Amino acid sequence: MRLGSGVCRVNDLRGGGSPVSLGVDGSASNDSGHMLNEARLALLLTRVVHGAGAMTPEQALEMATLEGARNLGRSADLGSLEPGKCADLAVFPAEDLFSNGADNVVHGLVLCHPRNAETVLVHGKVRVRDGQLAGVELPKLLERHRRTARRFHDRLRRAK
């Protein structure tokens, strides 16, 4: 939607057996690295183009999880929370100002205002605790990111 280059025919692809997944690049190319926001936008855009029944919140969440793992060729170790898989887990508040009163937890997660995870585990290790990066000095990381982004943009300008 950002580029205005058309709308993917998600339902046709999924109906034909192709997994359609969602991904985020981060602030350098898509303004955000927020997967829930991408799932929400995919759902809403599909509904605008094809009608309210064209996609459910559950299907949008599947594209962000199960189908993402399938497209990466990693269904055996990613995409769902099961014994033997990577133990990657994001925990979101189910009853907060943004989703309180939602009739269904998945609907609240996908349809209500996208929010940050309270806790994130990657390979079973806590990486986000109480909504904050665990074990990371954020100011130092952000400064390093700004310097790297500036160097990258300078190289691009010189290449033109």
- Region of 31 please: left (phi>0), alpha (psi -120 to 50) or beta: left
Q: How far apart are CA 64 and CA 55, in angstroms?
A: 13
**What are the structure tokens assigned to 131, written together?**
């909504």
Total count of domains within the chain: 1
Q: How far apart are CA 117 and CA 92, in angstroms?
A: 5
Domain extent for 63: 10-159
pLDDT at 13: 92
Q: How far apart are CA 92 and CA 158, in angstroms?
A: 43
5 is a domain residue? no
pLDDT at 32: 74
25 is a domain residue? yes
pLDDT at 158: 92
| Contact assessment for residue 20 and residue 29, using Cβ atoms and an 8 Å cutoff | no
Does residue 84 sit in helix, strand or coil? coil
Q: How far apart are CA 64 and CA 150, in angstroms?
A: 31
Q: Which of 91, 111, 90 is nearest to 101 (CA)?
A: 111
pTM greater than the 0.75 cutoff? yes
Q: How far apart are CA 7 and CA 46, in angstroms?
A: 8
Q: Which of 87, 14, 149, 27 is nearest to 79 (CA)?
A: 87
pLDDT at 97: 72
pLDDT at 31: 67
- Encode the chain (160 residues) as per-residue pLDDT tens digits: 777 888 888 889 989 999 899 887 766 665 677 888 889 999 999 999 999 999 999 999 999 999 999 999 999 999 998 999 998 899 988 777 777 777 788 998 899 888 889 999 999 899 999 999 999 999 999 999 899 989 999 999 999 8
